[in-house]
Structure 1
Amino acid sequence: MTTWKAIILGAVEGITEYLPISSTGHLIVTQRILGIGDTSATKDAADTYAIAIQLGAILAVLILYRRRILTVFQGLLGRNVEGRTLLVALTIAFLPAVVVGVLFEKPIKENLLGTGPVIAAWIVGGVLLLVLAPRIRPDRPGLSVTNIGPRQAIIIGAVQVLAMWPGTSRSLVTILAALAVGTTLAAAVEFSFLLGLMTLGAATIYEGAKNGSKVIDAYGWVDPLVGLVVAFVSAVVAVRWMVSWLQTRSLAVFGWERLVAAAITIGLIATSVI
């Protein structure tokens, strides 16, 4: 790992984490291009590094949505009804990923963390977005983020499990699931971001405790911190841009990005670059 590689990985993580284009997929391909984690000795460290720099993206949403998160904490203390409703919904939506992640962590890592599954997911998700985007108006009516109830939350949480297939995108499936249960587009995006705090936070803590020492042994402290800071800055920019974009435009641009990413990756494989 070099500092410039840490910067590239941090930028890829921050830009793609909350956009519906799959951060895991982009990181897998980027790691292959950069030659990171291409030996059995460094693979666990590289995979954990990719998860550890998610902390930068987590901090970005914590800051950007600090007021909403404050209402959630007030709800936890019984001081805010809307905050309590949102907390319950987020907790319910979070649980399916925990159960499936614990039960199927090993087969997922052994069988799905490759370019083939990523390309397939990019294509399927890209086509799905291009088909659905014209039907999703920025001003569509629906539930606000604080009106999402347990029934809607369990559906969103169940669908989030699909994102364990690399290349699918947690953001994509949770946004579409929220829209399917009747939220506004703005509420779907915000709920996806907030749910991501819990899901990504849990994954970061788990992997850090399990393989954190391997990251430090392989890369030291400086490069992971550089990647984290770059991920934070780029995530702030990406989240602000996405929210602004979807106020007047559709999700189609993300469908096209997924298809372009799949095509480029196929080309890189065909030319033996990766």
Structure 2
Amino acid sequence: MDTVLLVKAAIMGIVEGLTEFLPISSTGHLILAGSLLGFSDAKAKVFDIAIQTGAILAVIIVYWQKIHSTVVALPSSRQAQRFALNVLIAFFPAVILGLLFGKAIKEHLFTPQVVASTFILGAFVILWAERRPQSAARVHSVDDMTALDALKVGLVQCLAMIPGTSRSGATIIGGMLLGLSRKAATDFSFFLAIPTLIGAGVYSLYKERALLSTADIPLFAVGLFFSFISAWVCVRWLLRYISSHSFVPFAWYRIVFGLIVLATWWTGAVVWQD
């Protein structure tokens, strides 16, 4: 396989892993990176979704103790059953709306201009959420969430179908606005990512299987590997970061980055490809 293509796959994997769980939109960054690298055809879009599985593997490893204890306790523990049910409740809105509107969204909204605009809009939501005192939080652990809490977070996650919004940003910041502590919202966002991103990856691979062949295995393997490594580093860092910091710096990053993309597009300094 072309070495240059494998290098592009590695870069895209690193971008995916570093941005998937931060409130800065992995999809948005992948669209922009793919545009700059000339890696934005139909197969590349399947690749972008498939390599999310590598990032999810990192989450599974980091949270393995909680996942394992929950699975083991499912037959007898009401707490484990409630937690698993909450994840499923939060997962289903994205499944339903994704099946209904996913194709239209990909056709019309996957552009650098939309991404840059939602980067900026999302930043102001983060700044608003972080102005609220953490003492106002009523849920301090994922085990204390109700089914209604989970459903609300699941509905908020659907906003992330608009590229540039950020799935993790929508669920974490949305969770905080709905009464979850920063730690509880972040943890639940990670757990919700497991079925959401694995489901999206499997569905995309199955739906677009005609585009793929065994010759693409090295390409996807490289993307998955670098996605996993960079996500593992990022998740561990983020969990330490939120213990004593807010998400405000990410909001300012989104604003600056979004303005740069809009400015370069408007002036023609960068030819962004849809």
- What TM-score, normalized by structure 1, do the two folds share? 0.91
**Could you tell me which residue of structure 1 aligns to residue 264 of structure 2?**
268
Matches within 5 A, 1:1-274: 2-37=5-40, 43-76=41-74, 78-137=75-134, 142-216=139-213, 220-269=216-265, 270=267, 271-274=269-272
Indicate conservation of the 8 Å contact 1:48/1:212, yes or no: no
Q: How far off is 1:75 after superposition? A: 4.4
Residue 208 of structure 2 aligns to a residue whose secondary structure is helix
Q: How far off is 1:214 after superposition? A: 1.9
Q: How far off is 1:175 after superposition? A: 1.0
In 2: Cα distance, 1:68 partner to 1:196 partner = 15
What amino acid does structure 1 have at the position aligned with 2:16?
E
Q: How far off is 1:81 after superposition? A: 2.5
In 1: Cα distance, 2:118 partner to 2:52 partner = 21
Q: Percent identity?
A: 38
In 1: Cα distance, 2:231 partner to 2:120 partner = 24
Indicate conservation of the 8 Å contact 2:113/2:261, yes or no: no
Question: For residues 258 and 138 of structure 1, do their structure 2 counterparts lie closer, same or farther at Cα, with a shift above 3 Å needed?
Answer: farther
Residue 249 of structure 1 aligns to a residue whose secondary structure is coil
Indicate conservation of the 8 Å contact 1:16/1:23, yes or no: yes
Q: How far off is 1:136 after superposition? A: 4.9
Unaligned runs of 5+ residues in structure 2 are none
Question: For residues 216 and 263 of structure 1, do their structure 2 counterparts lie closer, same or farther at Cα, with a shift above 3 Å needed?
Answer: farther
Indicate conservation of the 8 Å contact 1:138/1:247, yes or no: no
Unaligned runs of 5+ residues in structure 1 are 38-42
Residue 55 of structure 1 aligns to a residue whose secondary structure is helix
- What TM-score, normalized by structure 2, do the two folds share? 0.91
In 1: Cα distance, 2:158 partner to 2:73 partner = 26
In 2: Cα distance, 1:55 partner to 1:89 partner = 21
**Could you tell me which residue of structure 2 aligns to residue 40 of structure 1?**
none
Indicate conservation of the 8 Å contact 1:160/1:174, yes or no: yes
Indicate conservation of the 8 Å contact 1:20/1:172, yes or no: yes
What amino acid does structure 2 have at the position aligned with 1:258?
R
In 1: Cα distance, 2:178 partner to 2:246 partner = 19
Question: For residues 266 and 73 of structure 1, do their structure 2 counterparts lie closer, same or farther at Cα, with a shift above 3 Å needed?
Answer: same
Q: How far off is 1:71 after superposition? A: 2.8
Deviations 1:90-139 (A, max 9, x none): 11111111110111122111111111211111000112212332435499
Deviations 1:176-212 (A, max 9, x none): 2222332221111000000011110110010011124
